[in-house]
Amino acid sequence: MSDFIDETDAREQFVLNASIQNARDRAAAVGQKWFKSCQLCSDPTVDGAAYCDDDCLIEARRERAVRDKQFAQRR
């Protein structure tokens, strides 16, 4: 006979698996966005990546964080 902890664990695993499958289904429906050039410096990218290298990725994230912080201060 299982106790409530085993039943709760089974429910938790069911919800986790359903969430993972849902995310996979939505990702497949949207598809991957391909880029021909870096979104920061406009250099060509490899395999459709949004940024040409880690430096551009880090700089883009930093710029976005600054913009988000500035926008939050205006409210």
State the average pLDDT over residues 39-57.
Answer: 91
Does 31 score more than 70 pLDDT?
no
Does 1 score more than 70 pLDDT?
no
State the average pLDDT over residues 28-49.
Answer: 85
Q: Residue 3 in contact with residue 23, Cβ under 8 Å?
A: no
State the average pLDDT over residues 51-61.
Answer: 94
End-to-end CA distance of the chain: 56
User: Would the pTM count as exceeding 0.75?
Assistant: no
For residue 39, what pLDDT is reported? Answer: 93
Q: Kindly provide the b/e burial profile for residues 12-25, where b requires at least 16 CB atoms within 10 angstroms of the residue's own CB.
A: eeeeeeeeeeeeee
